[in-house]
Amino acid sequence: AQKVTQAQTEISVVEKEDVTLDCVYETRDTTYYLFWYKQPPSGELVFLIRRNSFDEQNEISGRYSWNFQKSTSSFNFTITASQVVDSAVYFCALSESVGDYKLSFGAGTTVTVRA
Amino acid sequence: GAGVSQSPRYKVAKRGQDVALRCDPISGHVSLFWYQQALGQGPEFLTYFQNEAQLDKSGLPSDRFFAERPEGSVSTLKIQRTQQEDSAVYLCASSLSGLLLGTGELFFGEGSRLTVL
């Protein structure tokens, strides 16, 4: 069963627009961790954030912000005032407490920012 | 180098050939992971090492896949008798400790793209 669903396959925006990436997860554990990674064309995944299931505070880091809602099992990611350098594939991932070393990734959302 | 290094970056194999993919993790990183990423998909877990011990190999697709990390640093993923369905990018990642300690950041290499003809 898919543990992480990223319903948006591709998103295309014009520079300076905001873009929100959806992530819905599924787990029976009460303790779990959620992640976002960025994969630019070069291929390596770049860590963006980790949140644990007990911390529902929204987080902002520069132009990036994350909205974690346990009630809807969602961990959405917003890029404000997008730039061409934000063009990449973005992955949401889940780590459950039983296997805390494993990441279950979603299928990814390709973001294209046009100048 | 400062990051995770993987070689070769690209490998073309004929069906039935054996291949070996190498991963040099960041020095001092205890945990090492291999993931397989098919085209247009997210990475899928293959196996996990803590130092030289392979603690989980549940993600390896078949007994044709074998991974080792004999001295707790460099790791090799070997695929025997390659099949077309093995075509994918193989990603290596390392972390200083586990996912739940520190920032939980995994450092990924750029991957080895395997194409089986």
Cα separation, B23 vs B106, whole angstroms: 14
B100 close contact with A: CB closer than 8 A: yes
> pLDDT (tens digit, 9 = 90+) per residue, A41-73?
888 899 999 888 988 888 889 999 999 999 999
- Location of structure tokens 């912000």: A65
Contact A103 B108 (CB under 8 A): no
B10 close contact with A: CB closer than 8 A: no
Q: What are phi and psi of A87, to 5 degrees?
A: -60, 120
Which chain B positions have a beta carbon within 8 Å of A50's beta carbon?
Answer: 99, 103-105
Mean per-residue pLDDT over chain A, rounded = 92
Which residues on neighbouring strands pair with residue A85, listed in sequence order? Answer: none
| pLDDT in the model for residue B102 | 62
pLDDT surpassing 60 at residue A99: no
Contact A101 B110 (CB under 8 A): no
Which of A59-63, A96-100, B16-20 has the highest average model confidence (pLDDT)? B16-20
pLDDT surpassing 70 at residue A100: no
> pLDDT (tens digit, 9 = 90+) per residue, B58-79?
999 999 999 999 999 999 999 9
Identify the band that residue B99 occupies on the pLDDT scale cut at 50, 70 and 90.
low
Nearest CB neighbour to A43, from listed B31, B103, B111: B111
Contact A105 B43 (CB under 8 A): yes
Which chain B positions have a beta carbon within 8 Å of A4's beta carbon?
Answer: 42
For residue A108, count other CB atoms closer than 10 A to its CB: 24
Which chain B positions have a beta carbon within 8 Å of A90's beta carbon?
Answer: none
By C-alpha distance, the chain B residue nearest A40 is B110
Contact B4 A44 (CB under 8 A): yes
Q: What is the mean pLDDT of residues A6-21?
A: 97
